[in-house]
């Protein structure tokens, strides 16, 4: 696969291939008042193209001399003309009139929406994905009564180096982490279909860069049992994020005691350099200044796993964590502050396996009530972007009985893990300190099993082993202290699957795993054998200018909604006024046919037609009025959470990417998951 090196601020993001700098513009003209051509039927969305391998940027249409442009450089189209029977495009790297030269249209691919896909972890919960030569080829499988019966053998055949005329490539067997090694698989088109089983499946037409049109696959490893030498340096970090409010001392002591036993085990096994533990404590903010002072902190790092080298050092630092001397204002606490502290202050890139374990007996403050301003979905998204698995051990004490159901719903959402496609929420019934100790021991023992396997050069046992064909060593017996009740067994199984998934992600980084070498093909967004399991994570590459506009418009919608809770009938009138002033077409705001927020033209056209359901875009006046104050408040709170998340995106300099040499700062893009759009 021929790759493109996409430059970013502060550090380089590698496309999963050779490093190639984007070509300098040919005879770039100074900025003018010209604008790119609009897409058909659009008022603000310009025509964009991606370059194919071998594209040449020339000074004039029809010219032979020019500069080679890297594949997948993005250009805006300013004009088109024909020379000698061939269509040529005049292009530039921005929308402000800076023209770079001319490209042969046949050397480009139209890119109407800046959508791209990222693979989910292939070895954790599903079969490797196949790329099909056409939508008809993919749809033919989807139309079968039992697609799994054909997909399984077909996947194994391709993985072993076989050929099938319907298939042009197979996903790598190692996970490709888009956050550590950025790659671009642009989505050019999509189709949706309901299967006989009642599942909505989406086919995505994607492009990749190829040197040949030949199908590609990963050669099988001889016998499949050869040790993976790159795993020798695989390290794990387990960070406990614990509630330190009143009544939590026994749990703090139990978690600390369990960690002490684990350290004894790893020190005796010579794994001290391979496993590190950390500790973050959290409480909650208080409106009472005196109480806030007595509470000391909302969240604080006590043990950074990157800074401890022994069990004694961990225990010494952890001994400083004690329960609060005063109560907080509410039963709910601020665990999201603890999670964000762990995500931001720990150098996670030093570890291959990354676990953050939340321990609490209370629900979570969300939105404005939390110091983070975030909701469970946004905190989970932040953890996923850093490759950190969030696990929750929910202490179901008698005192918190009335809070159990609401807290469980929050934490199941928070702990939903894309790598193994299940929630890592576990309840500790009756809030028993001893049961918590067993849960911590189970989790820690299973992490150590994974590290021991890595030290031998073996992949850990995991739920996808049968699918990947990797032989399993005999499962080691559980720690004698761990009772194998259903919840504990589930925790062990999930942690094993996580360990396997994290090893695949680590190997993908270490081995430089590349996206498959196919230029265009169709892929299903869900596992063909199990439609409930996601294959890919769709992303929208939003420019810095677009994110700024989206942030500003959402703030105005929030302001209008805040006022609309007092006067519900005035909410949509306020939105019409905002749309008339700031929207892409003032006439839309005045149209009586504009009954939904999407109809007003308030949000950018780049959100139109995306394959996701937006609560914001479909909102209308009648729905708003019917909701009632509580539902309206929840809607506003979630929008505020999105705004906070976009502010974090803006500050995240490491993941802003330039798609072409010479792009101004406003044209750099951020790979926003569809789930994070309004």
Token pair, residue 663, equals 């792009």
Our CA angle for 249, 253, 258, nearest 5°, is 150
DSSP character at residue 26:
S
What is the Cα–Cα distance from 111 to 40, expressed in whole angstroms? 13
Tell me whether residue 4 is in a domain.
Answer: yes
- Burial (CB count within 10 angstroms: exposed 0-12, middle 13-18, buried 19+), residue 558: middle
Residues 413 and 558 both lie in one domain? no
Which of 47, 77, 112 marks a domain boundary? 112
In whole angstroms, what is the distance from residue 516 CA to residue 217 CA? 8
Closest CA to 285 of 341, 402, 368, 377: 368
Flag whether 74 is in a domain.
yes
Q: How far apart are CA 106 and CA 349, in angstroms?
A: 41
Q: Is residue 221 part of a domain?
A: no
Task: Report CA dihedral (505, 506, 508, 510) to the nearest 10 degrees.
Answer: 170
User: Does residue 130 sit in the same domain as residue 173?
Assistant: yes
Three-state DSSP class for residue 117? strand
Domain-embedded: residue 227: no
pLDDT at 171: 86
Residues 266 and 386 in one domain: yes
> End of a domain among 61, 88, 112?
112
Contact 77, 89 (CB under 8 A): yes
Contact present, 34 and 79 (Cβ < 8 Å): no
Say yes or no: 349 and 269 in one domain.
yes
DSSP one-letter code for 564: H
Whether residues 427 and 308 fall in one domain:
yes
Which pTM was predicted?
Answer: 0.72
Q: C-alpha angle 311/313/315, rounded to 5°? A: 70
CATH code for position 352:
3.40.50.410
Which two tokens mark 619?
């909102």
C-alpha closest to that of 514 among 198, 209, 112, 65: 209
Q: What is the mean pLDDT of each run of 10 residues along the chain (678 residues)?
A: 32 28 40 84 90 89 86 92 93 92 92 85 77 93 90 91 89 74 80 86 79 36 44 83 94 90 85 90 95 96 94 93 94 97 95 93 95 95 91 93 95 90 89 90 85 69 38 37 62 81 69 57 90 87 90 89 78 82 71 76 78 78 85 90 93 84 86 87
Dist CA 14 CA 284 (whole Å):
40
- In Å, how far from its chain's centre is CA 479? 34
- My answer on whether 446 and 477 are in the same domain is yes
Strands 353-360 and 236-243 come out as parallel
Pair (200, 178) in one structural domain: yes
Q: Which are the contacts of 499, defined by CB distance < 8 A and separation ≥ 6?
A: 353, 446, 447, 449, 450, 453, 460, 462
Residue 269 and residue 362 in one domain? yes
H/E element, 282: strand 275-282
Are 389 and 504 within one domain? Answer: yes
| Domain final residue pick, 112, 132, 152 | 112
Task: Answer yes or no: is 222 within a domain.
Answer: no
Classify residue 225: in a domain, yes or no: no
Strands of 496-599, DSSP E: 520-524, 536-543
- 224 in a domain, yes or no? no
Residue from 407, 489, 395, 399 nearest 434 by CA: 395
Q: Given CA atoms 620, 625, 627, 628 in this order, what sign does their dihedral have?
A: positive
Whether residues 263 and 244 fall in one domain: yes
**Got the DSSP string for 576-607?**
HHHHHHHSS-HHHHH-TT--BGGGGT-S-GGG
Give the domain extent around 102: 1-112
Q: HEC states along 46-106?
A: ECEEEECCCCEEECCCCCCCEEECCCCCEEEEEEEEEECCEEEEEEECCCCCCEEEEEEHH
What is the sign, positive or negative, of the torsion defined by CA atoms of 32, 605, 598, 381?
A: negative
Mark whether 643 and 506 lie in a shared domain.
no
Taking CA atoms, 354 is separated from 241, 444, 514, 568, in Å, by 13, 12, 23, 46
Task: Report the candidate in 422, 441, 438 with the shortest Cα–Cα distance to residue 430.
Answer: 438
At 472, give phi and psi (nearest 5°).
-100, 135
Q: Is residue 368 within 8 Å of 334, Cβ to Cβ? A: no
How far is it, in rounded angstroms, from Cα 416 to Cα 383?
A: 11
**Number of domains comprising the chain:** 4
Instruction: Tell whether 379 is covered by a domain.
Output: yes
Cα–Cα distance for residue pair 405/414, rounded to 1 Å: 14
**Predicted pLDDT at 619:** 84
Same domain for 280 and 311, yes or no, is yes
Cα three-residue angle 621-627-629, rounded to 5 degrees: 110
């Amino acid at each position: 696969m021929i790759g493109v090196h996409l430059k970013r601020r502060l550090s380089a993001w590698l496309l999963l291939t050779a490093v190639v700098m984007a070509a300098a513009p040919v005879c770039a003209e100074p900025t003018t008042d010209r604008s790119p051509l609009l897409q058909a039927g659009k008022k603000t969305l310009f025509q964009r193209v991606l370059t194919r391998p071998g594209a040449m940027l020339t000074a004039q249409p029809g010219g032979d001399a020019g500069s080679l442009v890297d594949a997948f450089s993005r250009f805006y189209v300013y004009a088109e003309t024909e020379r000698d029977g061939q269509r040529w495009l005049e292009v530039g790297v921005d929308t402000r009139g800076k023209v770079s030269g001319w490209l042969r249209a046949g050397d480009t691919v139209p890119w109407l929406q800046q959508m791209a896909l990222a693979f989910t972890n292939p070895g954790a919960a599903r079969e490797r994905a196949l790329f099909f030569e056409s939508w008809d080829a993919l749809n033919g499988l989807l139309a079968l009564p039992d697609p799994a019966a054909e997909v399984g053998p077909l996947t194994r055949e391709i993985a072993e180096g076989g050929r099938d005329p319907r298939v042009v490539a197979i996903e790598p067997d190692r996970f490709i982490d888009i956050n550590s090694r950025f790659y671009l698989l642009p989505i050019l088109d999509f189709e949706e279909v309901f299967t006989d089983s009642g599942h909505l499946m989406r086919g995505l037409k994607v492009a990749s860069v190829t040197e040949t049109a030949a199908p590609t696959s990963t050669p099988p490893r001889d016998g499949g049992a050869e040790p993976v030498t790159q795993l020798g340096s695989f390290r794990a970090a387990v960070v406990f994020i614990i509630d330190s409010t009143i009544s939590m001392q026994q749990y703090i002591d139990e978690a600390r005691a369990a960690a002490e036993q684990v350290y004894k085990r790893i020190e005796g096994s010579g794994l001290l350099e391979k496993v590190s533990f950390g500790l973050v404590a959290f409480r909650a903010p208080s409106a009472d200044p005196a109480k806030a002072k007595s509470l000391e902190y909302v969240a604080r790092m006590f043990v950074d796993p990157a800074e401890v080298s022994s069990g004694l050092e961990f225990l010494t630092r952890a001994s400083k964590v004690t329960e609060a001397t005063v109560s907080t204002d509410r039963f709910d606490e601020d665990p999201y502050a603890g999670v964000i502290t762990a995500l931001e202050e720990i150098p996670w890139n030093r570890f291959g396996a990354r676990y953050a374990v939340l321990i609490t007996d209370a629900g979570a403050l969300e939105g404005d009530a939390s110091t983070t301003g975030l909701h469970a979905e946004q905190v989970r998204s932040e953890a996923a972007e850093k490759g950190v698995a969030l696990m929750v051990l929910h202490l179901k004490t008698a005192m918190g009985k009335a809070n159990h159901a609401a807290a469980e719903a929050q934490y199941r959402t928070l702990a939903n893990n894309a790598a193994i496609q299940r929630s890592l929420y576990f309840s500790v019934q009756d809030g028993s300190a001893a049961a918590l100790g067993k849960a911590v021991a189970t989790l820690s023992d299973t992490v150590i099993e994974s590290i021991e396997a890595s030290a031998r050069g073996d992949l850990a046992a995991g739920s996808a082993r049968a699918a990947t064909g990797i032989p399993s060593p005999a499962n080691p017996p559980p720690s004698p202290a761990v009772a194998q009740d259903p919840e504990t067994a589930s925790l062990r199984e999930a942690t094993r699957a996580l360990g396997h998934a994290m090893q695949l992600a680590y190997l993908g980084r270490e081995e430089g795993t590349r996206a498959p070498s196919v230029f265009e093909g169709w892929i299903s967004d869900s596992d063909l054998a199990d439609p409930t399991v996601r294959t890919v994570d769709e992303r929208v590459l939003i420019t810095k200018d677009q994110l700024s506009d989206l942030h500003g418009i959402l703030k105005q919608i929030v302001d209008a909604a805040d006022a609309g809770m007092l006067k519900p009938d005035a909410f949509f009138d306020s939105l019409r006024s905002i749309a008339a002033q700031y929207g892409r077409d003032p006439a839309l705001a005045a149209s009586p046919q504009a009954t939904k927020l999407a109809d007003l033209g308030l949000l950018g056209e780049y959100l139109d037609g995306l394959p996701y359901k937006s609560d914001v875009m479909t909102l209308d006046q009648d729905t708003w009025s019917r909701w009632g104050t509580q539902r309206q408040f929840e809607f506003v709170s979630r929008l505020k959470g999105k705004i906070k998340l976009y502010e974090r995106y803006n500050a995240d300099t490491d993941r802003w990417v330039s798609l072409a040499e010479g792009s101004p700062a406003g044209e750099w893009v951020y790979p926003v998951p569809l789930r994070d759009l309004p």
